[in-house]
Amino acid sequence: MTSCDDLAGRLAASVRRSGVDALLLSGGLDSAILATVMRPAYCVTAAFGKDAPDLAFARQVAGKYCARHAEEVFGEEEMADMVETVIKVFKTFDPIEIRNSCVALAGLQRAKADGFARVATGDGSDELFAGYNYLSRYYRDTQRLELELQRLWGVMHFSSRTLGRHLGMEVVAPFLDDEFTEFAKSVPASEKVGEHGSQMWGKFILRRCFEAELGELAWRPKMAQEQGASTDLFCNFIEQRIDGGTYANRSKTAASEGVEIRSKEHLNYYAIFRSYFPPPKEESGNCEFVCQGCRACASKDRWFCRTCGAFPMTPVLL
């Protein structure tokens, strides 16, 4: 069985190698663990509105481990500006990608304004330690879980790094340090899931090893970034601005361009996308497979489309 001292020591070594002293803190397990190890000079939490769940959890962590805690609480107009930036940077109109990336963008912008050019994130922990909620279907079959984790390791990507480069910043992910990643991959899948309080949990070894420091926060259920920061509520703002007739007409126009529109929010993002880029099908001529939802280039190894967010994605052979 993997030793908690070994795991904690290896993560601490990764943090030391990074030399970073600022942290994007959501109050979720991953960033909370980093806070206990780093004891950073600066933490920043970004959220859409003052009632976002992440804020209360982040305050608990920051009060104990962060010398300074900044809260970047933004509203509809600020979110709209960030949406446009994310669409341009990632060439996407995927609602989930956009909502999640806006959280990271807001935090990085605030950190930069506060004088920090290098910031740490908890990226990679979900992939390495079976943290995503959908993986619960494999908790009783650790052999199948191991295979799915290996697939994830081959396709994982993190928007915070790209956004950091866009802002002239460096984003560091201690969980993705080469030495720590090699160690994490060697931990058996059977130790990455386990039972606590009559419930099965992902990232079980992390929760168990840092429970002494974090207490009940170690057992905070996994919450999607868009939900923890409440950016998923931005769709309500968009819904009020697009009437039914406009939605129907513009959805037909999108369909003529090979794009299936799934909601008013999706339509809004596609309209912004089209103000900068041609329809995806116009740039997929040399692709072997395309997404059935937007005709953008697709990979057989991915279950969702990075361009339109179609899930499950069914790659279509050209």
The series of mean pLDDT values per 10 residues for the chain, 318 residues long, is 96 97 97 98 98 97 98 97 98 97 98 98 97 91 94 92 98 97 96 93 97 96 94 95 96 98 98 98 89 91 89 81
Cα separation, 27 vs 155, whole angstroms? 26
Cβ proximity of 73 and 53 under 8 Å: no
Domain boundary among 179, 207, 232: 232
Domain count, the chain: 2
Q: What is the pLDDT of residue 253?
A: 98
Same domain, 103 and 153: yes
- Buried b / exposed e over 47-84, threshold 16 CB at 10 Å, is bbbeebbbbebbbbbbeebbeebbbbbbeeeebbebbe
Domain boundary among 232, 264, 293: 232
Same domain, 139 and 252: no
Cα separation, 148 vs 166, whole angstroms? 31
Same domain, 15 and 114: yes
Q: What is the pLDDT of residue 36?
A: 98
Whether the bond into 312 is cis, omega within 30 of 0: yes
Domain boundary among 232, 253, 268: 232
Structure-token pair, residue 151: 């697939």
Does an H or E element contain 243, and which?
A: none
Q: What is the pLDDT of residue 1?
A: 87
